[in-house]
Structure 1
Amino acid sequence: MINIPRGTQDILPESSAKWRYIESKLHDLMSCYNYEEIRTPIFESTELFARGVGDSTDVVQKEMYTFKDKGDRSLTLRPEGTAAVVRSYIENKMQGLPNQPVKLYYNGPMFRYERKQKGRYRQFNQFGVEAIGAEDPSIDAEVLALVMHIYQSFGLKNLKLVINSIGDAESRVEYQQALRDHFKPVIHNYCADCQKRIDTNPMRILDCKVDRNQPEMKTAPSITDYLNDTSKAYFESVKAHLDRLCIPYEVDPNLVRGLDYYTHTAFELMMDSKDYDGAITTLCGGGRYNGLLELLDGPKQTGIGFALSIERLLLALEAEGIELPVENHLDLFIATMGEAADDYAVKLLNDLRHAGVKVDKDYLSRKLKGQMKQADRLQAKYTIVIGDQELEQQQVAVKNMETGQSETLKFEEIASYITKGA
């Protein structure tokens, strides 16, 4: 027997209905904020992620699915969405569009070769937002408000928004050196990745999951002490907007994002619930990037965005006991008695479906009792039973399965009766 690849999952019909509900709700919410959908290829040039995500990141060094095509070109299944969206922005010259900033969202599968654990897969579905073309604290606040709005719209309440400023490029030069000075005397006690990061990107040591309990982590220099006046003013303005919007937040000076292109505002949304894996767990993260476009040979433009995992959203809803209002029922089930009735039901099914009725029939030659049990399993709102008498009279009793009441209708009246919800 051939089994599913490790780290992937089948989303079966009973679950896919929940996915459709979530995705539909997200699409509707994006229109309220004037974000438009973008769809990029599932694979891109490997160089895009090496440059855009960062050579020193775990994503690039350890987790990418990379392969050569028949033209000996190195391609990679996308591990995240931002780099691909920015590539498309540059390639399609979106900076020339009349409506600025360009506000985009995406939704689709991403791929990372990492250890499988609850809520984390090697193929996972990521929904993300990017607002490119404006460096304005108000749009940072808008993106943060959107993050909160998404999760609150599904009924989640135990949410904790954590924010930080990681400053502009100028602020980070001095801070990076302060981190090197702090960690170098003890770096031999840290993991191999951190020992590399001390020279390439020491800020990412603060994001290490292996060494997060090392004592030096608690005493590391804070980026807020190294922000220049411009970065301080920007961060204060972002916080002021959040205060006006009555969005609660916590400032964590040690919060850094795992990708190299972030500057200024960085944030994570956490689930603060003992029922959710027993701890505060990150649901979503993002931040501002003020050098990514130039890094990818694009214009001097800035952006801000975030990404969330649909799988982790579903886990959060499960932990909170929130049931999505997903409807999995039929409008009508047709039961038949006899070959002539079954033949007629085939055409009637087709006519009703073209009229917008959710309808099905028996295909296993069950007896009438078995057909009615099938109608119950399918949660049919109405049922009809067609036999020789119904065919002769060209009318049938339509039974409401909830009330038990029936109404006799001509066959051609059934569609109108069902669609009106009589």
Structure 2
Amino acid sequence: MSNTPELNCKPAMGLAEFVTLMAFMTSLVALSIDAMLPALNQIGLALGTEDPHQTHLIVSLFFFGMAIGQLFYGPFADSKGRRAAVLSGVIIFAIGTVICLVANSLTMLLVGRVIQAFGVSGPRVATLALIRDQYQGNAMARVMSFIMMVFILVPMIAPIIGQTVLTFFNWRHIFSLFLVITLFIGIWFYQRQPETLPIERRKPFSWKQLVISSKYILTHIQVMGYTLAMGMIFGAFLAYLSTSQTIFQTIYQTGNLFPAYFALLAFSVGFASFANGILVVRHGMKKLSNWALVGLLIFSALLLCLTVNQNGVPPLWQLVSLLFPMFFCVGILFGNLNSMAMQPLGEMAGLGAAIIGSLSSLMSVPIAIFIGDYISHSITPVVIGFIVFGGLSLLFVSIANRQAD
């Protein structure tokens, strides 16, 4: 048996091909969520579920599966290698997709969605590790900026893709499309991407070390303050995301224009991520996060006033005009809160990323389900959710900032 590290078994890809493949893998999460949104009503009718609150779980439970998956794949990618994490995740995602494709009940579909989400956590976690293994400093920032350009576009076009499939086929073929894309990505990765973590650098899994490291992370006030803030903001945003089809197609009767409105608001989040990369150099993460939280609360309060004055349904142009700056603030918060939570972790960055991502996702799901249960003929619950959980986030960020200082 050869002692040559697996790292050298296959030729490395060029930059353009590497960036394209990594962008496809990171975008699989957004595609799996947002392409489903136009189909929620059809799925409910086909599977005998008329209550839209039940179909909202198709989105929110996906994040529950990802929360569990990230906890598993964080240590797995460090102990078994990046290729094992990606390829096993792709296989599990494909199995979940097949279950969704043949589901004859909402329960079976939801089980498939959780399995999908668990599987997609492998490529999600390993992609960042692959980039970190091969690039550093400005080179890494350059690669990430190229990937983010694609990552920003996918949430904008995914509902359009889903709507297009529905126009010519039925909702099951959205999962057929997922399966084709997943197999394509899996084969491409298997054939072209070498292992970037040689055997001698892998960290054997240890329950003892996991407990010690997890205890340190979970009791670190600064880390937990930012993580709790992120989970609450994401919970309010997930409530919008999972009910967006109900808001635009049921309450506002936008019909096939729903993907266009969704894309416009998704652009706000994506543009904020791009702008943050420029602004953070000048103003710093703490200041930007404070500004974004205050801005979110101000715009949410304005929208609540309009909502109350219009019996829960303000004119569509007013809704979109205020959601756009609200989501810009959310986009600023996503990257900065995660980065500030990661700052104190140093050598525990891999496990820290898994715990932070998992905990914030686990927090967001019950928040989103709670808010979504009150959505029927009014957008008021979503707006109140942003105010309440935005205010709590500001409190936790203030506590974390004081600890950091």
TM-score by length of 2: 0.23
**Higher RCO (CA < 8 A, seq sep 6+):** 2
More helix by share: 2
TM-score by length of 1: 0.23
Structure number with bigger Rg: 1
